């Protein structure tokens, strides 16, 4: 759909023609640009200095071969990516995703979102993202280690504690970070905080594991509270059963909600008595098993194959925490029909544009991932601070900083939305508040990138 401003629309059209095959990237850019109309119309410098044309193009993109030897002695080849999108306000920062469907479009959409998300955290971090079309699922520990070592053998040339600091994302957890950190150290002969999400014995931060899920619920709680609501007594759907989903379950439950449905890429479970996050931890973190095995622990629960049906479960709050475009228009309609009060995004870009229109059009509360899932990268920023000062903070210290950051992100989004004439529109507010910080830094630094 055309953007209602000639300059923004021409930048988008140019991008759409140049990168026609990058559908996820174009979706993410369009979503941001259409909310920036009042911003570029209120300050001519953004157009004069072509800030939009610059912000949609990565500063640097690295694509590389990742060869590794599998357990049968066969030489495998995967592709590695690192998109260094924007360093105006700090070193590039963002996760690494290891999943079969990873391609340049997906890494660029994630890197683009990361620019605004990182700005919202108030910490000095630029935007970047990387990954590979390698999937650790079904691979042995040895295979994962050899892959991670090979991946880092190239990536180490492009990153550094003051240059670019990767972390985890889908398919990259503590194990993968550990193997990559070890290889970086060996290749550079230096111990630095070059990755976040590290283990607690070697520079990791307490509460980083929990941070994205906890942060999501702190954000949702702030938005619910501003609308005279809360988690108390509410039934909650959480898609996914990975890092973000597990700790979103823990915090939503602590805040008085009951998590009745969770999923993986094969199907979903429904347990009307409430899903204990500790059971999911055992299934996913210890056994690397499928969510269907939940029935071995709770035989009264129900398992349904296929992922999208989870949005038809009757509940009050939806927390998508799996992947992009997991809620389409029909799923959004099902949420509306079931009387859901709010959709708060834990995953990156889980709602399609059509789904967002249905959700917002029907008056549901809605928070975009770049605001409500920023707790993960914010706590990565806190890990970087601890590494720099060679100290570790307590769980309570990190958790309370996280909570403060999430509440201030909510306030910044709400304020920006109000200031630009869209009160209550947290999606527009997030894009505007994130953009203003980065754009003003780019203006101050001249045409350097």
Segment lying near ligand 2IT (by CB under 6 A), choices 298-306, 332-340, 376-384, 421-429: 376-384
**Which among 93, 108, 129, 360 is annotated as catalytic?**
129
Residue 240 within binding range of ligand NDP, rule CB under 6 A: yes
| Interaction of residue 24 with ligand NDP, rule CB under 6 A | no
Q: Tell me which long-range contacts 412-418 makes (C-beta under 8 A, separation of at least 24).
A: 412/120, 413/120, 413/367, 413/371, 414/226
Structure tokens at 34: 């259409």
For the bound state, the minimum distance from the C-beta of residue 107 to ligand NDP, rounded and expressed in Å, comes to 11
Q: Which of 2, 35, 26, 33 is nearest to 366 (CA)?
A: 35
- Binding status of residue 167 toward ligand 2IT by CB under 6 A: yes
Residue located via tokens 């039934």: 235
Closest to ligand NDP by CB, 212 or 403: 212
Q: Residue 213's binding partner, choosing from ligand 2IT, ligand NDP, none, with beta-carbon cut-off 5 to 8 A by kind?
A: none
Active site residue 129: yes
Which residues, in sequence order, are bridge partners of residue 96?
130
212 contacts ligand NDP (rule: CB under 6 A): yes
Q: Where are the beta strands (DSSP E) in 247-393?
A: 258-263, 267-270, 302-305, 317-319, 342-344, 365-367
Report, in angstroms and rounded to the nearest whole number, the Rg of the chain calculated over CA atoms: 21
367 makes contact with ligand NDP (CB under 6 A): no
193 binds, among ligand NDP, ligand 2IT, none (CB under 5 to 8 A by kind): none
196 binds ligand 2IT (CB under 6 A): yes
Q: What is the DSSP letter of 205?
A: P
Residue partners of 228: CB distance under 8 A and separation at least 6:
none
By beta-carbon proximity to ligand NDP, the closer residue of 264 and 271 is: 264
Cα-flanking dihedrals φ and ψ of residue 365, to 5°?
-70, 145
Q: Pick the piece of the chain touching ligand NDP (CB under 6 A) from 51-59, 174-182, 227-235, 260-268.
A: 260-268
Backbone phi, then psi, for 167, in 5-degree steps?
A: -155, -160
**347 is a contact residue toward ligand NDP (CB under 6 A):** yes
Is residue 176 part of the contact set for ligand 2IT (CB under 6 A)?
A: no
Residue numbers of the site for ligand NDP (CB under 6 A)? 137, 168-171, 173, 212, 240-245, 264-266, 307, 321-323, 326, 346-348, 373, 376
Catalytic residues: 129
């Amino acid at each position: 759909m055309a953007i209602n401003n000639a300059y923004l629309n021409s930048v988008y059209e140019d991008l759409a023609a140049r990168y026609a095959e990058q559908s996820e990237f174009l979706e993410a850019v369009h979503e941001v640009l259409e909310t920036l109309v009042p911003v570029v119309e209120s300050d001519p410098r953004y157009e004069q200095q072509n800030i939009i044309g610059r912000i949609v193009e990565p500063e640097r993109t690295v694509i590389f071969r990742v060869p590794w030897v599998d357990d049968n002695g066969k030489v495998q080849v995967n592709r590695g990516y690192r998109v260094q999108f924007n360093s105006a306000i700090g070193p590039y920062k963002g996760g690494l995703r290891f999943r079969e469907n990873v391609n340049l479009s997906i890494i660029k959409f994630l890197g683009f979102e990361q620019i605004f998300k990182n700005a919202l955290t108030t910490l000095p971090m630029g935007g970047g993202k990387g990954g590979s079309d390698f999937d650790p699922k079904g691979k042995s520990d040895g295979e994962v280690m050899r892959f991670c070592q090979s991946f880092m053998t190239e990536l180490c040339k492009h990153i550094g504690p003051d240059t670019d600091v990767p972390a985890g994302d889908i398919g990259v957890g503590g194990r993968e970070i550990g193997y990559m950190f070890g290889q970086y150290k060996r290749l550079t002969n230096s111990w630095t905080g070059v990755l976040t999400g590290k283990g607690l014995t070697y520079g990791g931060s307490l509460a980083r594991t929990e941070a994205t899920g906890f942060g999501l619920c702190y954000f949702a709680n702030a938005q619910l509270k501003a609308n005279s609501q809360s988690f108390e007594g509410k039934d909650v759907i959480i898609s996914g059963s990975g890092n973000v989903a597990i700790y979103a379950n823990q915090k939503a439950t602590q805040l008085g909600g009951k998590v009745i449905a969770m999923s993986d890429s094969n199907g979903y479970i429904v347990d009307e008595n409430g899903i204990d996050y500790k059971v999911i931890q055992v299934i996913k973190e210890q056994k690397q098993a499928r969510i269907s095995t939940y029935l071995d622990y709770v035989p009264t629960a129900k398992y349904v194959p296929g992922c999208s049906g989870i949005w038809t479960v009757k509940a009050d709050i939806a927390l998508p925490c799996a992947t992009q475009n997991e809620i389409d228009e029909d799923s959004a309609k099902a949420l509306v029909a079931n009387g859901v009060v709010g959709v708060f995004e834990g995953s990156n870009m889980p709602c399609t544009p059509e789904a967002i229109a249905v959700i917002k059009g029907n008056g549901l509360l809605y928070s975009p991932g770049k605001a409500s899932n920023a707790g993960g990268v914010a706590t990565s920023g806190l890990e970087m601070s601890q590494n720099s000062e060679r100290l570790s903070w307590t769980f309570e210290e990190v958790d309370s900083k996280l909570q403060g950051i999430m509440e201030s992100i909510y306030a910044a989004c709400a304020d920006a939305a109000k200031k630009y004439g869209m009160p209550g529109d947290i999606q527009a507010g997030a894009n505007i508040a994130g953009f203003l910080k980065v754009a003003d830094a780019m203006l101050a630094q001249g045409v350097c990138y």
